[in-house]
């Protein structure tokens, strides 16, 4: 808990903010923020009973339009892979305290960004868009990773530009900054554009896995799901490991299912073997 009182003393408010923060180590930090006032509704009677008519916000209209366009544009397919993150979690826990001693917050998300960028270099079709008018696929040589942020007013996707050129500490700082300003609605328009592939972290909210919708004009979106201790068979013995599901939703018009399976197998391999990931950086 970081104190904000006189001479760095910890106040009751500091404790309450820390208690309200998410515990999932993958999640972008959630800065404390007051909930926005609910739009004023109008109560009306219908033949079936009373309803409240609440105005749709501008952001929700934008999100609704983007979701409809994506579903109408892309042939969505989702492939799910399982990863054993026991070693990755142990490595993360070993360095977390030392890294955070310098300030800021360090989560698992930078590891996943680095693993994704590494695999995107091997499978460039997942880091691409399509110019249908010119009948051309645009394989992008830069790696701008969108990070879906759940805000009180709706989903916002800020973009980390040049993720391949930043180390994990730089990524952690940028995630904190972008996520915080996204929730405060202080992002510039340029910080929401230019993404080449997106990550959405659904794990803190629960569930087994989900089928995210592609962020147009990208061709793929990666879903990170909850980490939990589960019994698995390792070398013929039942042991408890930290397991998670990874998903990719991709546009089946341009990406074949076999390519999606290979992509996710390699991504899961890097996540399960952090030593191999470090060797590839």
Instruction: Compute the radius of gyration of the chain from its Cα atoms.
Output: 21
Cα-based distances in Å from 33 to 17, 148, 184: 9, 18, 8
Closest CA to 117 of 245, 259, 255, 263: 263
Cα-based distances in Å from 31 to 36, 60, 96, 200: 14, 22, 19, 18
Instruction: Give the position of tokens 């300003």.
Output: 181
Q: Is 91 a catalytic residue?
A: no
What is the DSSP secondary structure assignment for residue 11, as one 8-state letter? P
Distance CA 35, CA 27 (A): 19
Distance CA 130, CA 141 (A): 14
In this structure, the number of other CB atoms found within 10 A of the CB of residue 274 comes to: 20
Please identify which of the residues 76, 91, 252, 273 carries the catalytic annotation. Answer: 252
Question: Do the beta carbons of residue 223 and residue 76 sit within 8 Å?
Answer: no
Q: Cβ neighbours of residue 248 under 8 Å, at least 6 residues apart? A: 78, 79, 126, 220, 221, 222, 223, 260, 263, 264, 267
Catalytic residues: 252
């Amino acid at each position: 808990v970081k104190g904000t009182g006189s001479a760095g003393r910890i106040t009751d408010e500091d404790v309450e903010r820390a208690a309200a923060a998410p515990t999932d180590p993958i999640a972008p930090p959630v800065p404390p923020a007051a909930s926005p006032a609910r739009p004023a509704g109008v109560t009306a009677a219908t033949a079936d009973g009373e309803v409240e008519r609440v105005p749709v916000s501008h952001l929700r209209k934008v999100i609704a339009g983007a979701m409809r366009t994506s579903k109408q544009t892309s042939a969505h397919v989702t492939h799910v892979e399982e990863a054993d993150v026991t070693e990755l979690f142990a490595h993360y826990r070993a360095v977390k305290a030392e890294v955070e001693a310098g300030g800021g917050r360090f989560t698992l998300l930078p590891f996943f960004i680095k693993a994704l960028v590494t695999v995107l270099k091997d499978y460039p079709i997942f880091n691409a868009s399509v110019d249908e008018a010119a009948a051309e696929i645009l394989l992008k040589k830069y790696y701008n990773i969108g990070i879906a942020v759940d805000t009180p007013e709706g989903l916002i996707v800020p973009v980390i530009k040049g993720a391949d050129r930043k180390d994990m500490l730089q990524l952690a700082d940028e995630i904190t900054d972008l996520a915080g300003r996204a929730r405060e609605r202080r992002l510039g328009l340029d910080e929401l554009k230019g993404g080449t592939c997106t990550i959405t972290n659904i794990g803190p909210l629960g569930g087994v896995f989900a089928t995210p919708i592609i962020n147009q004009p990208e061709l793929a979106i990666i879903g990170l799901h909850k980490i939990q201790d589960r019994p698995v068979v390792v070398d013929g013995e039942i042991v408890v490991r930290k397991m998670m599901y990874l998903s990719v939703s991709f546009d089946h018009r341009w990406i074949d299912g076999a390519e999606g399976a290979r992509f996710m197998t390699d991504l899961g391999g890097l996540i399960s073997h952090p030593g191999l990931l470090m060797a590839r950086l």
